[in-house]
Chain A
Amino acid sequence: QDQLVESGGGVVQPGGSLRLSCAASGFTFTTFDMHWVRQAPGKGLEWVAVIRYDGTKEYYIDSVKGRFTISRDNSKNTLYLQMNSLRAEDTAVYYCAKDLRNVIGYASDIWGQGTMVTVSS
């Protein structure tokens, strides 16, 4: 069965860095675009980034451009999110999600359990 498992969350000081990982299993990872979505405590969902199935294209929300990098290692079935220059407002649960590969735009059909990132001094 399709499964995503995130790891790498924790507490980091403002200005610090963290790398999240998302291990995929149960589906052909190399053929699906992948997303990161976050949710601040008590708030709604916020899409962060997407990476093309072959790693050749990425898109980001403006607030993380130049600070976060989405990447993937298709040989390891793993998605990453490198987060630099972290700010308090980046505090959230971070979810990785698989794309449906639908002809009508993106859609996230499988989600991980999430990993908490807390940016605090």
Chain B
Amino acid sequence: DIQMTQSPSSLSASIGDRVTITCRASQSISSYLNWYQQKPGKAPKFLIYAASSLQSGVPSRFSGSGSETVFTLTISSLQPEDFATYYCQQSYSTPLTFGGGTKVEIK
């Protein structure tokens, strides 16, 4: 199985900050990488697919990049509604696997 490792596991940031979350795959997954946002008690929300393609309706302050084994999710200017936990997921092969999550908290 492909292991996905996210860093950091949590971070504190202020409104307006630029935030970057890293996701590493245990083997090359090309661009088969998705990102999700989850708020407490809610279902995950789909943000990005194919490493860098923004899902329709997702604000443009979210962006994704990377390929092979290293990927990043960037929030260019953190907004109050962005405080949540973010997960990466590889879709290169089954079983699909998620990273452990990165909790973005208010500083």
**Which residues of A pack against B, CB within 8 Å?**
35, 37, 44-47, 50, 59-62, 95, 100, 102, 104-114
Contacts and interface: CB of A to CB of B under 8 A. Distances in A.
Given A45-B44, A47-B89, A104 B96 contact: no
Contact of A107 (B45, B46, B101): B46
Contacts, number: 69
B83 interface: no
Contacts of B34: 105, 107-108
Contacts of B32: 104-105
Chain B contact surface mostly:
loop
Taking each of A45, A47, A108, which has the highest tally of chain B beta carbons within 10 Å of its own beta carbon?
A45
Interface residues of B, number: 27
A60 B49 contact: no
Q: Which of A44, A47, A104, A112 has the most CB of B within 10 A?
A: A104
A20 to B, nearest CB: 15
Contacts of A113: 43
A47 B97 contact: yes
Contacts of A106: 91, 96
A104 B100 CA distance: 22
Given A47-B95, A47-B96, A107-B34, A95 B46 contact: no
B60 interface: no
Given A104-B49, A105-B32, A108-B46, A44 B95 contact: no
Interface of B: 1, 31-32, 34, 36, 38, 43-46, 49-51, 53, 55, 87, 89, 91-92, 94-101
Contacts of B49: 100, 102, 104, 107, 109
Contact of A109 (B46, B94, B99): B46
Given A44-B100, A104-B32, A109-B55, A50 B46 contact: no
B17 to A, nearest CB: 24
B87 A45 contact: yes
A111 B43 contact: yes
Nearest to B87: A45
